[in-house]
A and B are shown apart, each in its own frame.
Chain A
């Protein structure tokens, strides 16, 4: 970005150089003060000067004179001198004599008076410069008031020259000045037309013009061939400043489509120099003419926003996909060129417009920062933490906390004994994440209203730190579920309403649940038993043990403790356990997994013996083969640390795709990747993911391969191919062989501080330079911080230079024994310290 800024600055200085090279030399002083004779004698033919007449000896109090003086420097750039003519008292000539003329300024070219300006037209530097240039550039800048005038000029220019049409709400404004300054430089190249009539703007193609803001349109009349058609117009999107106008005219002046025969890396055009992206249309010999027309079409759409270049691939050896037809080069250094396969010119335009929108915003922010240091500080104290900000925006709303019992140090222990299960939210009332969770907690309370045997409660650790410490809560928020008089479980799941509700419900049932009969066991696998859970769980896990396998059972029970609340686990070890497991083709010890209401039951032998192994195994078995990925379940799949093959879909996926993907997921060795799909309707943030990958949301459904944990490359499955297992597999082969080029690569950037902190150390040093902050200050080796310096060791007197303090204190002891001998005596004894009073 800084390189881009440099370019800006250099082109601006070039402009100023052009402007300032016009005046002749000899302007040592900006504002000259001359007598009338001197002034009229010095006027050179062709030189413009702005003069005002001031009676000698008058205080010159008129404020407008100040404004003229301030304008001297700006006007000098345009070769216009500013002169204050001191009228002698007795002078009664044309300019000096009349009282009236003293309230005016006069613009001369040579000795010819061009215009007189009443003082009210010259209220500030902008108005002075704008009005003076307006008067001088009478021919270069046409002023129009009616549509007919405008059309006449436009028609006259067709096929000959381009027109710059500007609307300003009023003359003498900063925008007016900018237009005039641009006209000074470009007036010979383009015809400038100015109006203050908003109606003209309306007909100039703006349906709802904002009459309060100035507008500038570039009318491409030079290329216009059809006299009946108005010239094409390109509006300038930015504010009317000298710099923006200059930039716009530069862009308009650049060729519409640049034909290049170099590698895009080496190509540079005025667009890139001005900080705009450059779009390459990648062409081939056979299609060159058609591509050229496409390029021109796109170029018109992007005029002023991006440059368009046409590159024939036959001329340059590009190591890119054959299918790629568009490349995007951004002005930012170090950003690689993106090669894309686009199907529609609209996509090209969206690509650029989205980008420039974001960039424009960033740019504006940066400019703000540069404008004022204050601004920068303002950003620093604006909240950029989404959670904190959301919570503080919500703080006025009263939370429905009636369902949630407030516990205190006194009531905590007794409350735990009253209900079978007490859920306690430990939080801090000042902490944002806690408060965000408290909001979800109220929703949980609403869901569980009327559920017997569960009490929801909360402890504010800011009020009762003792309880929290005793309960081993060191961070907020924390949720613990206490079983009456027994153990407690720390909640370690997602801080969401659904997850928490389900956790509370599931943990009501002991985990694992001991099933007594084979009917219960079967019902359990179908999800019908125990009845209170029928609406909550998805997969039932049943451990089947023969009475002999107590070691495996212990591990299973321990695993149940760990997984309590997250899964439903049952166990069955009656005599007919063998029969039950046989039914599912395993022998005890074994796990039976009843998925989707018992429609499929899977049997797995329990070979592993430690509880941790069982936990790991259950967690793994609970993962779906081809899951719909959501915000809530992604972490479970992330832990596999595999690449993701994601099918993005707007809504449910089609049956065909679903079938093919499932085949793929099941068929492959599962270690290789996570095959999943994402429903943009249910997980809209997926759209953000797509935007990050492709800059725009491509057509859906779309299959994407993401190397999340290795390299971060993103590959897009060719949209012309149908999603079938075979196609995907052959594409994956190509990926593996490195034959495909990634669409993008995930940023490897670290998470740095979003904004700087206040540098208090530096502020201290600037504000109190004598403050010996540097360790170079030697203070001797005494451990005492400073020697006692005044009677009674007044050590709290700080930071004054010690010399002064001492000087002031001399003579102060005994001051109240005024004019007496003790004072004399005391003074002599100054050196001795009295410590004890």
Chain B
């Protein structure tokens, strides 16, 4: 009791000093502003804290050479705004059409300054509530049974001002430079501060540590003026066009690969940086040696006493001394501001630069704390686009929807359609949806079937990792089975050492669609919502557990999945067989015939014709259907009326002919299209 009293008084004493908001967002970078936008649209009580005087402070400095590698494709030949977002990697989501990045830059790879200006406009035009010059330096918890999550978040800024929030959205990105410590690492210059003036490197020999885009960007800048550049890192180079991961080395930066492979003095080496040591000689040149040698020597002795590898092995690769060593090792999340009680733990293995979060983007350690943006990339690191604007703008929206449901009882937005629209609604989404396309294998559209499969409910872009919790997370019910619509690359196609240009890499025929290699839609069918256990035990590299049935829509060179026979027909057959119904369209005349000759009607007639919305069709179309043998023409059989009409026979013959001669004259073109 005494303890409770004490706690209560403390709260009362400090209460006046707290500024309360339902939602606090840390960081006014792209994901922080994106979250703010959705909170604002929903009319929520929120604030964004930004330590700088303007949004996007990271972009004010980085990338150092100012060229963004996110594409700004201004022309796609299409006017569909949703589709065009697939190729606009810089815009944030909003209703304001002025806030499209193509209105800000004409460059395919825009300048980072434009991003800063864009973010400033985004915050000001949308009147987002951002509190600048506020650096949150400490975050802790205050237990309270009444709070949404059983605790409040207490934030302290650099001026000791305290803030109290029910939910905390961390959008701080990864901005702490990665450093390696080895003997001699004091001679290494960091990417953050190294000169970007190529003149400063004229006639120098440079060693770059790291093999990411920042390392190659740095090399690209000085490639023309250095003696040579060597680049060392533990892992082999991963090219984004081979891995289909936008965070790997992009072609725009890979000039050094050229000069290396053409033996123009530059080179790549693999080696563990932790084995490395650097010694400086009297002339100021930097020599590479191994920690292994140093450990066995008296380190206080001069350079002359240190063994260099070339002393033992006179063709040692990096025996030439360097003028400069530059560290370009990327960034990590700032864990330092969180109190231990929040249990913000780094991820495991290659994800240790990110905090541990669940597939719902909620922290594993603290309920109510969500990580957004680049810092949330552990969910799909090296797989999808969750670490980049064009990906996390969608995951941020997903988090917002989860929060709306959890805290405000607003269920996940959905649309209910009659079952006749099932094929159409899938085709529409896979052809234009940007969130599905960018966040492949991570965000999925969910189709919840209503009883007797007469209608369905369509939910967009749900994080598929928490599929098992769907009912709880969305406020929607799934008692009658569901479809999950997701995009995938071929399972064995992408990879650092894969040849992605081999012949016949593209599948052209619908019946082999499951072997499609390039990004293509996949539809999973479950009779019941998968359980947590099934999610946990799913096959490795499967985004989802084993379904009751699965359908792949065959990959398409143009990513246009609207072909009636190759794309829509197989999809319809799949849906029909899952639902055990007939999803064909019928002209009114056919429905009329069925109405008089069958006790039951197909869904299309039931939901259209019977409700006086039958498809009468023009005369020309009906004639085509008759020619195809899919509609019988009874009008030519006038006379006595008891002979088998010729036209009937004719149409059946047509049907048979069609069966024997499938119309696929362009088959070879289909197969050869990618070669």
- Residues of A near any B CB (own CB < 8 A): 346-347, 350, 353-354, 357, 361, 364-365, 368, 377-394, 397, 408-409, 428, 430-433, 436-437, 439-440, 443, 462-466, 474-476, 492-499, 631-632, 634-636, 638-639, 644, 650, 680-681, 683-689, 692-693, 696-700, 706, 708, 712, 746-761, 763-764, 767, 771-775, 777-779, 781, 783-788, 791-799, 812-822, 825-826, 829, 833-837
Please name the residue on chain A nearest to B269 by beta carbon.
Answer: A816
Q: List 22 A-B residue pairs with CB atoms under 8 Å apart, sorted by A's residue number.
A: A382-B659, A382-B662, A387-B617, A430-B562, A436-B618, A634-B592, A638-B610, A685-B592, A692-B596, A751-B603, A752-B580, A752-B581, A785-B541, A792-B238, A795-B383, A812-B270, A815-B270, A817-B269, A820-B317, A825-B272, A834-B273, A836-B352
Please name 4 further chain A to chain B contacts, defined as beta carbons within 8 Å, in addition to the given A386-B585, A817-B271, A826-B272, sorted by A numbering.
A381-B566, A383-B630, A388-B569, A758-B574
Q: How far is the CB of A391 from chain B (nearest CB, A)?
A: 7
Are the CB atoms of A798 and B551 closer together than 8 Å? no
Are the CB atoms of A632 and B534 closer together than 8 Å? no
Are the CB atoms of B550 and A761 closer together than 8 Å? yes
Q: How far is the CB of A506 from chain B (nearest CB, A)?
A: 15
Q: How far is the CB of A693 from chain B (nearest CB, A)?
A: 8
With A386-B584, A752-B582, A785-B540 as given contacts, are A380 and B573 in contact (CB-CB < 8 Å)?
yes
Contacts of A746 in B (CB 8 A): 597-599
Are the CB atoms of B565 and A381 closer together than 8 Å? yes
Please name the residue on chain A nearest to B610 by beta carbon.
Answer: A635
Q: How far is the CB of B14 from chain A (nearest CB, A)?
A: 38
Are the CB atoms of B585 and A432 closer together than 8 Å? yes
CA distance A385 to B541 in the complex (A): 37
The segment out of B53-61, B76-84, B365-373 that lies at the interface is: B76-84
Are the CB atoms of B495 and A796 closer together than 8 Å? yes
Contacts of B238 in A (CB 8 A): 792, 794
- 8 Å CB contact of A751 from B539, B581, B659: B581
Closest 7 CB pairs of A and B: A792-B235, A496-B616, A430-B562, A753-B576, A793-B350, A684-B635, A387-B585
- 8 Å CB contact of A708 from B515, B585, B596, B644: B596
Is B633's beta carbon under 8 Å from chain A?
Answer: yes
Contacts of B393 in A (CB 8 A): none
Are the CB atoms of B587 and A387 closer together than 8 Å? yes
CA distance A796 to B658 in the complex (A): 44
| B387-430 residues at the A interface, CB under 8 angstroms | 415, 417-418, 421, 424, 427-428
Contacts of A381 in B (CB 8 A): 510-511, 565-566, 569-570, 662
Is B219's beta carbon under 8 Å from chain A?
Answer: no
Contacts of A346 in B (CB 8 A): 642
With A393-B627, A799-B492 as given contacts, are A706 and B330 in contact (CB-CB < 8 Å)?
no
User: Which residue, of B233, B497, B588, B632, has the highest number of chain A Cβ atoms within 10 A?
Assistant: B588
Q: How far is the CB of A475 from chain B (nearest CB, A)?
A: 5
User: Which residue, of A639, A650, A816, A829, has the highest number of chain B Cβ atoms within 10 A?
Assistant: A816
CA distance A182 to B5 in the complex (A): 107
| B193-227 residues at the A interface, CB under 8 angstroms | 210-212
With A393-B628, A798-B492 as given contacts, are A837 and B290 in contact (CB-CB < 8 Å)?
no
Are the CB atoms of B659 and A379 closer together than 8 Å? yes
Q: How far is the CB of B597 from chain A (nearest CB, A)?
A: 4
With A757-B576, A779-B537, A836-B330 as given contacts, are A384 and B495 in contact (CB-CB < 8 Å)?
no
Contacts of B234 in A (CB 8 A): 791-792, 813, 834, 836-837
User: Which residue, of B267, B431, B580, B630, has the highest number of chain A Cβ atoms within 10 A?
Assistant: B630
Is B665's beta carbon under 8 Å from chain A?
Answer: no
- B488-521: CB near A (< 8 Å → 1, else 0) gives 0001101111000000000000110111000000
- 8 Å CB contact of A699 from B383, B514, B641: B641
CA distance A693 to B596 in the complex (A): 9
Is B600's beta carbon under 8 Å from chain A?
Answer: yes
Is B611's beta carbon under 8 Å from chain A?
Answer: yes
Contacts of B596 in A (CB 8 A): 644, 689, 692, 706, 708
With A635-B610, A686-B634, A813-B270 as given contacts, are A753 and B350 in contact (CB-CB < 8 Å)?
no
CA distance A750 to B600 in the complex (A): 6
Are the CB atoms of A700 and B641 closer together than 8 Å? yes
- Residues of B near any A CB (own CB < 8 A): 78-82, 178, 180, 210-212, 233-236, 238, 243, 245, 267-275, 290, 292, 309, 312-313, 315-318, 329-330, 348-353, 382-383, 415, 417-418, 421, 424, 427-428, 431-432, 491-492, 494-497, 510-511, 513-515, 534, 536-541, 545-547, 549-552, 562, 564-566, 568-570, 572-574, 576-577, 580-582, 584-590, 592-593, 595-603, 609-618, 620-622, 624-625, 627-628, 630-635, 637-638, 641-644, 649, 652, 655-656, 658-659, 662
Are the CB atoms of B569 and A387 closer together than 8 Å? no
Are the CB atoms of B628 and A386 closer together than 8 Å? yes
CA distance A814 to B353 in the complex (A): 24
Contacts of B634 in A (CB 8 A): 680, 684-688
Contacts of B497 in A (CB 8 A): 797
With A754-B576, A758-B551 as given contacts, are A813 and B415 in contact (CB-CB < 8 Å)?
no
Are the CB atoms of B643 and A350 closer together than 8 Å? yes
- 8 Å CB contact of B662 from A378, A436, A761, A783: A378
Q: How far is the CB of A189 from chain B (nearest CB, A)?
A: 34
CA distance A346 to B644 in the complex (A): 12
Contacts of A383 in B (CB 8 A): 564-565, 569, 628, 630
Please name the residue on chain A nearest to B465 by beta carbon.
Answer: A783
Contacts of A639 in B (CB 8 A): 610
Are the CB atoms of B615 and A437 closer together than 8 Å? yes
CA distance A743 to B417 in the complex (A): 40
- 8 Å CB contact of A799 from B79, B268, B348, B491: B491
Contacts of B589 in A (CB 8 A): 631, 685
CA distance A761 to B383 in the complex (A): 23
Q: How far is the CB of A579 from chain B (nearest CB, A)?
A: 37
Contacts of A498 in B (CB 8 A): 616
Are the CB atoms of B268 and A747 closer together than 8 Å? no
- 8 Å CB contact of B540 from A397, A748, A772: A772
CA distance A688 to B577 in the complex (A): 28
Contacts of B235 in A (CB 8 A): 791-792, 794, 834, 837
Contacts of B566 in A (CB 8 A): 381
User: Which residue, of B78, B316, B573, B662, has the highest number of chain A Cβ atoms within 10 A?
Assistant: B573
Are the CB atoms of B617 and A440 closer together than 8 Å? yes
Contacts of B271 in A (CB 8 A): 813-814, 816-817, 822, 826
Contacts of A650 in B (CB 8 A): 638, 641
CA distance A394 to B211 in the complex (A): 55
CA distance A786 to B540 in the complex (A): 6
Contacts of A464 in B (CB 8 A): 79-80
Are the CB atoms of B585 and A433 closer together than 8 Å? yes
Are the CB atoms of A778 and B633 closer together than 8 Å? no
CA distance A357 to B590 in the complex (A): 22
Contacts of B315 in A (CB 8 A): 818-819
Contacts of A475 in B (CB 8 A): 417-418, 421, 424
Please name the residue on chain A nearest to B622 by beta carbon.
Answer: A390
Are the CB atoms of A347 and B642 closer together than 8 Å? yes
Are the CB atoms of B643 and A763 closer together than 8 Å? no
Are the CB atoms of A689 and B597 closer together than 8 Å? yes
Q: How far is the CB of A659 from chain B (nearest CB, A)?
A: 25
Are the CB atoms of B270 and A492 closer together than 8 Å? no
Please name the residue on chain B nearest to A477 by beta carbon.
Answer: B615
Contacts of B245 in A (CB 8 A): 796
Contacts of B511 in A (CB 8 A): 377, 380-381, 758
Q: How far is the CB of B525 from chain A (nearest CB, A)?
A: 10
CA distance A443 to B552 in the complex (A): 39
Are the CB atoms of B79 and A835 closer together than 8 Å? no
Are the CB atoms of A688 and B632 closer together than 8 Å? yes
Are the CB atoms of B582 and A784 closer together than 8 Å? no
Contacts of B536 in A (CB 8 A): 779, 781, 783
Are the CB atoms of B178 and A836 closer together than 8 Å? yes
Contacts of B78 in A (CB 8 A): 463
CA distance A449 to B212 in the complex (A): 64
Are the CB atoms of A635 and B612 closer together than 8 Å? yes
